Amino acid sequence: MLRFYPNRDNFTSNNMLGFPLNVVSHRSGKVFTISPFTEKTGNIPQNLTYTCDNEIITPYSYSVTLDEPNVEAKFVPAGKSGFFSFRFNEGEDQDFILKTTNQGEFVYENNAISGYDMYDGVRSYLYLEFDRIPGNIKVRERDEISDRTSISGRRVELIAFFNPESTAELKIRYGLSYISTEQARKNLQADISGWDLNELSGKARSKWNSVLSGIEIEGGTENQRTLFYTSLYRCFERMVDITEDGHYFSIWSNQVEPANDTAFYTDDWVWDTHLALHPLQVILNPSEQDEKIASYIRMARQSGWMPTFPTISGDNHAMNGNHSAAVILDAWNKGLRNFDLEEAYDHLKKTILSETRLPWVRDSLTWLDEFYDRRGYFPALRKDEPETCPEVHSFEKRQAVAITLASSYDDWCLAQMAKELGKENDYGFFIKRSLNYRNLFKNDTGFYHPKDSDGNWIEPFDYRYDGGMGARDYYDENNGWTYIWQPYHAFDDLIKMMGGRDEFDRKLDRLFSESLGRSKWQYYATMPDATGNVGQFVMGNEPSMHIAYLYNLAGKPWKTQKRIRMLMDTWFRNDLMGIPGDEDGGGLSAFYVFSAMGFYPITPGIPEYQIGSPLFSKIRIHLQNGKTFNVIARNNSQANKYILSAKLNGKELIKPVFTHEDLVKGGTLVLEMGDRPDFNWGLE
């Protein structure tokens, strides 16, 4: 439940606003901040200065030596609790200021601080203890300091002053809760029993080693191994288990609910995570994935709607589509059964048929949705035409093509569920709607192209730049070149619409070679989220992650192997650059984990994996069922990226694909690698 990182502007900044006690939300949802200071500085600092070279960051601990004040800070997480150690210079005062980031309260009593901090309407409760009694407690409100031991209000502050003692170290431990301060105290007692930071760090390290050793690798470079395990670590940032002693606070019912022996998870930006992160968790942690899907169903049961971006404070309703449909179908088709598919289907059907498709809007159907239901596409405005639907978000716009493609995929997912449940009429209804993407495919250009409400193409049209900021009038965060390669269930049909495999192959080649058409600063002024460019291809945003694997469908798997290696080597690095865009809580990291292992799921909902080019000579995936799936890449190296032949469990593999069933049964995929492509392998 606890997530921690310093409250700083960016990696290169030398200022931080303190240490948050929890990061509730992916980007800015921090609650409670603690900062050390020494009274000798003459004032209480508003921020701390540090040098990033003095930081040591691991999955199980964080440490930094601050510049001002000159204090060594160490932190270790422990489930729903945390532990700080602060080492001051000998003889200096050892003081702390504890702040709420929003509306909150602090009460000091019996050497402990209890209180709460609000984030987006939800209370985070705190119970915090020092390892010795402070010499004085004060509060600060509106820059005025007073001798009190409690305070409530907006952005309130409590200050603890400690006299210098024989030891220059002071320790703090705390528990968090979404239920009550008493539950926060219980969580602390359950997670941390003593005051030994090293012992706690050892336990956290052991736990992370157990988690990350679910995949073992051999070969590759040191940087590649570091990148792999860093990426795998980041794949566990979401979703978050907020179950506490068999209960959880639900924003969906606005009360504490019984967990009934099933953990409750939240915080999932599913537009970003349904493509790779959730499919990866189906492999590594199927029992937890069952619970995550059961959590979605609980949210829908309590609120009446299947959420799109569930967080601790409710549904953000961000981006477009409702891709929890893909998450649920993918898990079901890969054998997960500890959730109620029919209930999930009923909630999804109600939500998709009754809620607006407009991005970043929570509302009932608008006339745009009714148009879509009648005509099979979301109508677009002509350039500079004023908006006529008042519900449209002023910044996010209509995203007319992106919504049509996303809705087609969601409907395909619902159709597959209906078929599984024996709902023949529903299957016919949704499978027909799943073909709506055809209504926007423009044969003479080979792009998905916006139409107005009269059925006319929006022309003239530049697929690189039209659509305003992030191309949101028609697409979303990415331009028309990225959206050619959707929806995810219709690649065979896309090949036919383009005129066959050869044209499909040529279009892919053009994607990776087409120039930006403008200077980079002009491009990024319009497309700030479309980063990690190779031609018009965008590595830094989730809708592109599957594209290089589509060469397999074009009968050119050697191009997939070439491209995937180039993309991993170029855009995922063990330096300040890191990853090529906003990874959105594990989205891009999961792509790297899959690709480094040598395969990728291009269509969540279809239990298959397309083969790419593994970075490592040996990969062992340890499954929850006790079996192991091995990938062995013989003669693998940076130059030897091409597959010359393949065998799965001793049998020749003539297609660049294998099934989820092949994987979970355990076995071995052996790839013979070389430095020149075999143009015949993988052509069936």
pLDDT in tens, 202-212: 999 999 999 99
Give the span between the Cα atoms of 613 and 635, in whole angstroms.
12
Q: Using alpha carbons, list the distances in angstroms from residue 668 to 229, 322, 603.
A: 22, 36, 23
Residue 382 DSSP symbol: P
Residue of 214, 8, 172 whose CA lies nearest to 81: 172
| 600, 628 Cβ separation under 8 angstroms | no
Residue 316: how many CB atoms within 10 A of its CB? Answer: 19
Residue of 488, 380, 358, 473 whose CA lies nearest to 434: 488
Q: Using alpha carbons, list the distances in angstroms from residue 88 to 37, 197, 642.
A: 9, 16, 56
Q: Averaged over 54-78, what is the pLDDT?
A: 94
| 176, 126 Cβ separation under 8 angstroms | yes
Kindly report the backbone phi and psi dihedral angles of residue 7, in degrees, each rounded to the nearest multiple of 5, phi listed first.
-90, 85
Among the residue ranges 5-9, 229-233, 533-537, 664-668, the one predicted with the least confidence is 5-9
| 592, 230 Cβ separation under 8 angstroms | no
Among the residue ranges 129-143, 200-214, 269-283, 533-547, the one predicted with the least confidence is 129-143
Between residues 7 and 174, the one the model is more confident about: 174
Tens-place pLDDT, residues 549-607: 999 999 999 999 999 999 999 999 998 889 999 888 899 999 999 999 999 999 999 99
Tens-place pLDDT, residues 151-177: 999 999 999 998 877 678 999 999 999
Residue 25 burial (10 A CB sphere; 0-12, 13-18, 19+): middle
Q: Averaged over 124-150, what is the pLDDT?
A: 93
Torsion angle, CA of 416/420/421/424, rounded to 10 degrees? 60
Quick one: pLDDT at residue 424?
Answer: 98
pLDDT at 40 over 80: no
Quick one: pLDDT at residue 147?
Answer: 92
Q: Averaged over 506-529, what is the pLDDT?
A: 97
Average pLDDT score over the chain: 95
Kindly report the backbone phi and psi dihedral angles of residue 595, in degrees, each rounded to the nearest multiple of 5, phi listed first.
-65, -35
pLDDT at 394 over 90: yes
Q: Tokens 């702040």 belong to which residue?
A: 99
The band of 141, judged by pLDDT with boundaries at 50, 70 and 90, is confident
Tell me the fold of 15-212: Beta-galactosidase; Chain A, domain 5 (2.70.98)
Residue 260 burial (10 A CB sphere; 0-12, 13-18, 19+): exposed
Quick one: pLDDT at residue 52?
Answer: 87
Quick one: pLDDT at residue 39?
Answer: 72
Residue 344 burial (10 A CB sphere; 0-12, 13-18, 19+): buried
Kindly report the backbone phi and psi dihedral angles of residue 228, in degrees, each rounded to the nearest multiple of 5, phi listed first.
-60, -50
pLDDT at 359 over 60: yes
- What is the secondary structure of 402-469 as a DSSP string? HHHHHHHHHHHHHHHHHHHTT-HHHHHHHHHHTTGGGGGEETTTTEE--B-TTS-B--S--TTTTTSG
Q: Averaged over 637-649, what is the pLDDT?
A: 98
pLDDT at 23 over 70: yes
Both tokens of 299, joined, read 């949210």
Domain boundaries, the chain: 15-212
SS (H, E, C) 628-658: EEEEEEECCCCCCCEEEEEEECCEECCCCEE
Kindly report the backbone phi and psi dihedral angles of residue 298, in degrees, each rounded to the nearest multiple of 5, phi listed first.
-60, -45
Q: Using alpha carbons, list the distances in angstroms from residue 110 to 94, 137, 158, 653.
A: 19, 12, 15, 69
Q: Using alpha carbons, list the distances in angstroms from residue 489 to 327, 394, 435, 494, 612.
A: 14, 31, 10, 10, 19
Give the span between the Cα atoms of 303 and 362, in whole angstroms.
13
Quick one: pLDDT at residue 166?
Answer: 66
Q: Collect all residues with Cβ–Cβ distance below 8 Å to 211 and sequence separation of at least 6.
A: 236
Residue 192: how many CB atoms within 10 A of its CB? Answer: 24
For the whole prediction, is pTM greater than 0.95? yes
Q: Averaged over 47-60, what is the pLDDT?
A: 91
pLDDT at 10 over 90: no
Give the span between the Cα atoms of 420 and 200, in whole angstroms.
47
Cα angle 466-468-471, degrees, rounded to a multiple of 5: 70
Q: Is 240 helix (H, G, I), strand (E, B) or coil?
A: strand
Residue type, 527: M
| 318, 269 Cβ separation under 8 angstroms | yes
Q: Averaged over 101-109, what is the pLDDT?
A: 95
Give the span between the Cα atoms of 417 and 415, in whole angstroms.
5
Q: Averaged over 495-522, what is the pLDDT?
A: 97
| 309, 319 Cβ separation under 8 angstroms | yes
Residue type, 308: T
Kindly report the backbone phi and psi dihedral angles of residue 391, in degrees, each rounded to the nearest multiple of 5, phi listed first.
-75, -15
Q: Using alpha carbons, list the distances in angstroms from residue 147 to 45, 92, 105, 219, 516.
A: 19, 22, 16, 62, 62
- What is the secondary structure of 141-184 as a DSSP string? ETTEEES-SEEEEET-EEEEEE---S--EEEEEEEEESS-HHHH
Residue 534 DSSP symbol: E
Q: Using alpha carbons, list the distances in angstroms from residue 444 to 447, 468, 496, 497.
A: 8, 24, 13, 10
Q: Averaged over 317-342, what is the pLDDT?
A: 98
Tens-place pLDDT, residues 235-259: 999 999 999 999 999 999 999 999 9
- What is the secondary structure of 97-136 as a DSSP string? EEE-SSEEEEEEETTEEEEEEEETTEEEEEEEEESS--SE
The band of 13, judged by pLDDT with boundaries at 50, 70 and 90, is confident
Give the span between the Cα atoms of 320 and 311, in whole angstroms.
16
From the CA atom positions of the chain, what is the Rg in Å? 27
Both tokens of 385, joined, read 């035409």
Both tokens of 481, joined, read 């070149």
The band of 90, judged by pLDDT with boundaries at 50, 70 and 90, is confident
Tens-place pLDDT, residues 650-673: 999 999 999 999 999 999 999 999
